[in-house]
Amino acid sequence: MRIAIVDESASRAAVIREGLAALDDCEIFVVTERRGLVARIGEIGPDIVLMDLGNPSRDVLEEYFAVSRVLGRPIAMFVDESDEESIAASVDAGVSSYVVDGLAPHRIRPILDLAVRRFNAFSRLQSDLAEAKGKLADHEVIAKAKRILMDSRGFTEPQAYSELRKTAMNQGKRIADIAEAVVTAHQLMGGK
Amino acid sequence: MMAEDATNGELTIGFLPLVDACLPILAREHGFAEAEGLSLRLVRDMSWATVLDRLLYGHSDAAHMVAPLAIATTLGRGRPAQPLSVPFVLGLNGNAVTMRPDLARAVNPAGGLGEPAAVGAALKAHIAASGQKLRFGVVHRYSSHNYMLRYWLAACGIRPDIDVEITTVAPPFCADALEFGEVDAICVGEPWNSVAVERGTGEIVLVTAQIWRRGVEKVLAFREPVMEARRPQAEALVRALRKAGEHFVDPANLETNAAILARAEYLDGDATLIRRAISDRLLLRQGGELLHYPDFMFQHREAANFPWVSQAEWLYSQMVRWDGLEFDSADARKAARVFRPDLYRSALLGTGEPLPGASSKVEGSLAGPTSVSMQQGFITLENNSFFDGKPFDPVLLESYIQGQRSA
């Protein structure tokens, strides 16, 4: 079976490809370029096309599937009435799938399930990354706030940190939020 | 405890970054939705396919949508049928035909906005002389852009799909597609024509308001069962959107609204280009003068948001025409029922908003200002004609379709 993964994010496409590589007798093609997309799909002649929902070329490709005879067999969005749940799961995960006419649902299902799992794994990776970045930023702002307190109130570093922590606990806020407030206040008062 | 759906005022609305997504955005930003007890969440996407998927699978409650797509979805064109309902038209027109500069000058040598019949005749001659099959880009198969472009070409004796090729191009890439020769012309909404002009890759030749002076464009679409289950919220949304429209067309609010629409979470675009479009001003070609074309976009006056059943029927007539279908009276009834003036009326009854007495009208029959019978309030309808002067009488839907076939 020939599977085309259309995704402008090369890293996500790689994650999906890796997941699908485990399947037997599947040939996988990744298309990340927008220009020439339709011609490329024509060359590949896929049985299944997986495309992320955020891709601006979806309408272009759907139009192509609707009118083109290049692929020999019609290709349509995979919406099997009996399989509403799996379609809903794929929309939730952010992937749309197009399947050539006549392909048995039991052959499509495992591919779709794998793609959904990979899409979900990728967005988890991204949110982990965002969280890690957030932590890094938190760390920086706390260090700045400590420095301000040490300079302005003669605290040692542990005292400055404990002051931030105490205030955060009293106000039911995160330490980073208090630190942010300290830094902002300091800037407003003319500090650097 | 979560509120029951029937009383929960939270509504999620899908949209594409186009200037005619303005009313839901402004209803949220200026508190018109809040005043109606609604809390709007707006979800931006990059393709109509995804806006539709989110609506069908419950990620959104309602969506900004190209009008023909609401009818195509109801009739099951391209995917299994799901009935959609349109209680509110988000606007009329607002699109333009932009061509490669050399083609624009060949078919519209006088410059300025062309006259549709004259440009069409010149285009036909150009195609015959060059033997070249020109490619036109539209934003979606089921878009008003596609139907307006085809209506114009066909009325000028140019057969779409035979004499020219019409293909889909995503709005943000229209300027690119012109630049790289993927298409020779585009029919798209703003700000994308202006982006092509700014980049020198295109010149605006016509606006769609010249093809049909009052052509239906984007609509607010719900899944029918969702609209019925949440009818109080749908009606509240109609009232909030009317208020947003009043604010939107007031010239005093131009700067504020252009700045809001330009924001990263909405159109993420150039406030100058957006301000031009929403004030009906266009720069047709690089180095030219700004042109004021009144009612380029039409969002509020003349009860512009009223979902006339005759508009839905005209769209059905074009779907039959260009999808090569047979007229089917059951489909025609289903298509007509997508537009829901009954909900629009019950939402606005007792307010100061004008409500027409009829739910259908002969489209394109007015050459000048005409007062119409009203259920509530007063409006004067102005010229609403098609450029070829042919009216569309919904009572004669089937013979209209036959007439187009033999044309």
**Which alpha helices (DSSP H) does B156-205 contain, by range?**
174-179, 192-198
What does the pLDDT read at residue B254?
Answer: 97
Residue B56 lies in a domain: no
pLDDT in tens, B320-339: 999 999 999 999 999 999 99
> Cβ distance B49 to B57 under 8 Å?
no
Question: CB contacts < 8 Å between A and B, how many?
Answer: 64
The strand pairing partners of B386, in sequence order, are: B212
* Interchain pair A54, B141: CB under 8 A: no
Is position B130 within any domain?
Answer: yes
Mean pLDDT of chain B: 95
Whole-angstrom Cα distance, residue A96 to residue A99? 10
The confidence score (pLDDT) of residue A82 equals 60
In tens, the pLDDT along B225-277 reads: 999 999 999 999 999 999 999 999 999 999 999 999 999 999 999 999 999 99
A-interface mutation test, from B60, B79, B168, most A Cβ less than 10 A away? B168
In this prediction, residue A187 carries a pLDDT of 84
B354 part of a folded domain: no
Considering only the beta carbons, identify the residue of A35, A59, A81 that sits closest to B49. A59
Whose CA is closest to A68, among A50, A41, A48?
Answer: A41
- The pLDDT value recorded for residue A80 is 62
pLDDT for residue B1: 34
- Amino acid A164: pLDDT: 93
Select the residue of B46, B139, B140 nearest A55 (Cβ to Cβ): B46
Closest CA to A13 of A34, A1, A29, A24: A29
Could you tell me if residue B147 is inside a domain? yes
pLDDT in tens, B199-239: 999 999 999 999 999 999 999 999 999 999 999 999 999 99
Which range among A81-85, B163-167, B343-347, B370-374 shows the weakest confidence by mean pLDDT? A81-85
Question: What's the pLDDT score for residue B226?
Answer: 97
Q: Using a CB–CB cutoff of 8 Å, tell me whether A70 touches chain B.
A: no
Are residues A56 and B172, on separate chains, in Cβ contact within 8 Å? yes
CA distance B177 to chain A (A): 9
Confidence of residue B6 (pLDDT cuts 50, 70, 90): low
In this complex, do A55 and B59 lie within 8 Å of one another by their Cβ atoms? no
What are A41-60's pLDDT values in tens digits?
999 989 899 999 999 999 99
B392 to chain A nearest CA, in Å?
A: 28
Do the beta carbons of residue B26 and residue B260 sit within 8 Å?
A: yes
pLDDT at B370: 87
Q: Which helix (H) or strand (E) holds A49?
A: strand A48-52
Q: How far is CA A22 from CA A7, A95, B134, in A?
A: 20, 19, 45
Dist CA A22 CA A25 (whole Å): 9
Q: What is the pLDDT of residue A190?
A: 77
Q: What is the longest distance spanned by two Cα atoms in chain A? A: 79
The per-residue pLDDT for A70 is: 54
Return the pLDDT at B335. 98
Q: Which of A52, A59, A96 should one mutate to test binding to chain B, selecting the residue with the greatest count of B CBs within 10 A?
A: A59
Q: What is the enclosing helix (H) or strand (E) of A44?
A: helix A37-44
CB contact under 8 A, A53 and B79: no
Residue B2: is its pLDDT beyond 80?
no
Give the domain range for residue B149.
95-214+283-291
How far apart are the C-alpha atoms of B191 and B95, rounded to whole Å? 9
pTM, entire model: 0.87
Report the chain A residue with the minimal C-alpha distance to residue B55: A91
Residue range A128-156: mean pLDDT, rounded: 88
Q: Which residues of B170-186 are buried (b: 16+ CB within 10 A; e: fewer)?
A: bbbbbbbbbbeebbbbb
Domain total of chain B: 1
Q: Please report residues of B whose CB lies closer than 8 A to that of A99.
A: none
Separation in Å, CA of B328 to nearest CA in chain A: 21
Closest in B46, B141, B170 to A66, CB measured: B141
Does residue B192 form part of some domain?
A: yes
Supply the CATH number for residue B166's domain: 3.40.190.10
A 8-37: CB under 8 A from B: 34-35
A39 touches chain B (CB under 8 A): no
CB B336 within 8 A of CB B312: yes
- Band the pLDDT of B105: cuts 50, 70, 90: very high
Instruction: Out of A148-152, A178-182, B46-50, B83-87, give the one with best mean pLDDT.
Output: B83-87
Going from the N-terminus, what domains does chain A have, and what CATH number goes with each? 2-127 (3.40.50), 132-188 (1.10.10.10)
Interface test with A, best of B12, B48, B50 (most A CBs within 10 A): B50
Residue B82 pLDDT > 60: yes
Question: Considering Cα of A179, then A180, then A184, then A187, what sign does the dihedral take?
Answer: positive
Beta pairing class for B164-168 and B95-99: unpaired
Whether residue B180 has pLDDT greater than 90: yes
Ranges A149-153, B156-160, B362-366, B402-406: which has the least confidence: B402-406
So what's the ipTM on this one?
A: 0.89
Counts for chain A of helices (H) and strands (E), in that order: 7, 5
pLDDT of residue B3: 39
Confidence of residue A69 (pLDDT cuts 50, 70, 90): low
- Chain A residues whose beta carbon lies within 8 Å of the beta carbon of residue B47: 55-59
Q: Hunting for tokens 């007062």 — which residue is that? A: B371
In chain B, the percentage of residues whose pLDDT exceeds 90 is 91
What share of chain B in percent tops pLDDT 70? 98
**Which residues pair with residue A95 across a beta bridge?**
A52
For A74, nearest residue in chain B (alpha carbons): B78
Contacts of residue B128, Cβ cutoff 8 Å, sequence gap at least 6: none
Which member of A59, A81, A88 has the closest CB to residue B170? A59
C-alpha torsion angle, residues A114, A25, A82, B45 (rounded to 10):
50
Region B58-83 average pLDDT: 95
CA distance linking residue B389 with residue A120, whole number of Å: 55
Token pair, residue A40, equals: 């490329």
B185 part of a folded domain: yes
- What pLDDT was estimated at residue B4? 46
* B170 inside domain: yes
A95-127 in b/e form (b: 16+ CB < 10 A) is bbbbbbeebeeeebeebbebbbebbeebeeeee
Residue B186 corresponds to which tokens in the numbers above? 């585009």
Residue B177 within a domain:
yes
Q: What is the pLDDT of residue B93?
A: 96
Contact yes or no for A59 and B172 at CB 8 A: no
- Put simply, whether A76 touches B (Cβ < 8 Å) is yes
Segment A79-101 shows an average pLDDT of: 79
DSSP H stretches of helix in B20-133: 22-29, 32-35, 48-56, 67-75, 101-107, 116-130
